[in-house]
């Protein structure tokens, strides 16, 4: 049997899986053949039932997975390629790259994975002040949002001992010590919370402007990323401040958006109130915050 070659991943221990490039056991052509057969099976079944989706999890060429029958080959860029040191330019570059490389077919849907069971929580990866940032991006961008359970309330990592990891059924570790204050019941009762931000984003996700609208990404400044969706008279504008300090911007000019918009949702730590009217020619963005602005028709 031929052996796998080394991956040249210098940071891995010698016995780590990623020290080898598993060219004989991963992403084989046979994998795509199996996926095509599943797609055919589900399409045949869908003739007399609801359409069936295939979601695939593989760190591989997503275009090939699309063309082999996966509706949603998971996009892990928010986890694997971006972190709390990434800039507005980094985010724009990767988002544009993904959208530009999706095969030109309505059956292929973009997707944005915020977190999963294999990686640190979003609030721990990007910082608690930026806990809402990825959920906002995943909502406003076209396609499917994949949010790992707990990220919608801003849950963070907790430290584990090795003994706690030897726990296949999850009975040893127990909850995070902060569970008495960081929990769903508390966030339902609070006037402002990650949960309430997430609920409002979920409502926005169902609007035609998100389902069908055009997409534009803009570097408003070196530190601020803008994402604009348009559909008829409806406009959604997301601004993400990557700076730790406040920034004042003329979003009207740089994003070509209406002069008057309404704050639809904002990061919990922003102290900005949903429902407030905003003059987009002079917006003060608090440090490390994300804000979704919309036209009035989307708030009703």
Listing DSSP states for 196-218 in one string gives: HHHHHHHHHHTSHHHHT-EEEEE
pLDDT at 1: 46
pLDDT at 23: 83
Tokens of 300: 């009703």
pLDDT reading at 3 higher than 80: no
CB atoms within 10 A of CB 82: 20
Q: Which of 155, 154, 193 is nearest to 274 (CA)?
A: 193
> Average pLDDT, whole number, for the chain?
92
Q: Which of 23-27, 133-137, 187-191, 218-222 has the lowest mean pLDDT?
A: 23-27
Instruction: Locate the domains of the chain by residue range.
Output: 17-205, 212-298
pLDDT at 127: 96
pLDDT reading at 10 higher than 70: no
Please report, rounded to a whole number, the percentage of residues in the chain having pLDDT higher than 90.
76
Instruction: Read off the pTM.
Output: 0.90
More confident residue, 106 or 31: 31
pLDDT per residue over 96-155, tens digit each? 999 999 988 888 899 999 999 999 999 999 999 999 999 999 999 999 999 999 999 999
Listing DSSP states for 59-113 in one string gives: SS-HHHHHHTT-SEE---IIIII--TT--HHHHHHHHHHHHHHS-S-TT---EEE
Q: Which of 12-16, 209-213, 248-252 has the lowest mean pLDDT?
A: 12-16
pLDDT at 18: 80
pLDDT per residue over 63-109, tens digit each? 999 999 999 999 999 999 999 999 999 999 999 999 999 988 888 89
Cα angle: 134, vertex 217, 199; to 5 degrees: 35
Residues 6+ apart with CB under 8 A from 45: 52
Tokens of 76: 């892990």
Return the bridge partners of 56, or none.
73
Q: Please state, in angstroms and as integers, the Cα–Cα distance from residue 228 to each residue in 96, 108, 184, 216, 217, following that order.
A: 13, 21, 31, 5, 6
pLDDT at 287: 97
Residues 189 and 200: their CA atoms lie apart, in Å, by 15
Tokens of 176: 């995070």
CATH fold for domain 17-205: TIM Barrel (3.20.20)
pLDDT at 280: 98
Q: Do domains 17-205 and 212-298 have the same CATH topology?
A: no
Element (H, E) at 148: none
In the structure, what pLDDT confidence band is assigned to residue 4 with cuts at 50, 70 and 90? Answer: low
Q: Please state, in angstroms and as integers, the Cα–Cα distance from residue 147 to each residue in 163, 179, 279, 289, following that order.
A: 28, 20, 32, 19
The CATH class for the domain spanning 212-298 reads mainly beta
pLDDT at 169: 75
Residue 181, by phi and psi: left (phi above 0), alpha (psi -120 to 50) or beta? alpha
Cα 59 off chain centre by: 16
pLDDT reading at 207 higher than 70: yes
pLDDT per residue over 226-260, tens digit each? 999 999 999 999 999 999 999 999 999 999 999 99
Residue 84, by phi and psi: left (phi above 0), alpha (psi -120 to 50) or beta? alpha
79, with CB counted inside 10 A (0-12, 13-18, 19+), is buried
More confident residue, 18 or 4: 18
Mean pLDDT, residues 22-47: 91
């Amino acid at each position: 049997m031929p052996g796998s070659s080394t991956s040249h991943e210098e940071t891995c221990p010698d016995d780590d899986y990623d020290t080898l490039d598993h060219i004989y056991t991963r992403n084989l052509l046979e994998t795509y053949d199996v996926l095509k057969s599943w797609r055919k099976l589900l399409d045949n079944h869908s003739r007399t039932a609801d359409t069936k989706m295939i979601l695939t999890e593989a760190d591989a060429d997503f275009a090939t997975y699309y063309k082999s029958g996966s509706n949603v080959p998971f996009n892990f860029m928010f986890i694997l390629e971006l972190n709390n040191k990434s800039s507005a330019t980094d985010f724009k570059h990767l988002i544009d790259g993904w959208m530009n490389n999706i095969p030109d077919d309505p059956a292929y849907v973009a997707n944005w994975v915020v977190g999963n069971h294999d990686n640190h929580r979003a609030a721990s990866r990007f910082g608690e002040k930026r806990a809402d940032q990825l959920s906002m991006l995943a909502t406003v961008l076209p396609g499917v949002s994949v949010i790992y359970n707990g990220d919608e309330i801003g849950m963070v990592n907790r430290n584990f001992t090795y003994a706690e990891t030897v726990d296949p059924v999850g009975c040893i570790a127990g909850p995070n010590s902060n569970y008495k204050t960081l929990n769903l019941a508390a966030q339902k009762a609070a006037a402002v919370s990650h949960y309430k931000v997430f609920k409002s984003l979920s409502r926005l996700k169902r609007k035609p402007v998100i389902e069908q609208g055009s997409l534009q990404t803009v570097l408003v400044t070196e530190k601020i990323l803008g994402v604009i969706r348009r559909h008829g008279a409806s406009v959604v504008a997301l601004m993400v401040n990557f700076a730790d300090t406040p920034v004042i911007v003329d979003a009207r000019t740089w994003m070509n958006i209406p002069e008057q918009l309404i704050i639809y949702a904002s990061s919990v730590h922003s102290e900005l109130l949903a429902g407030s009217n905003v003059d987009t020619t002079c917006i003060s963005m608090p440090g490390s915050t994300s804000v979704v602005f919309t036209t009035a028709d989307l708030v009703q």
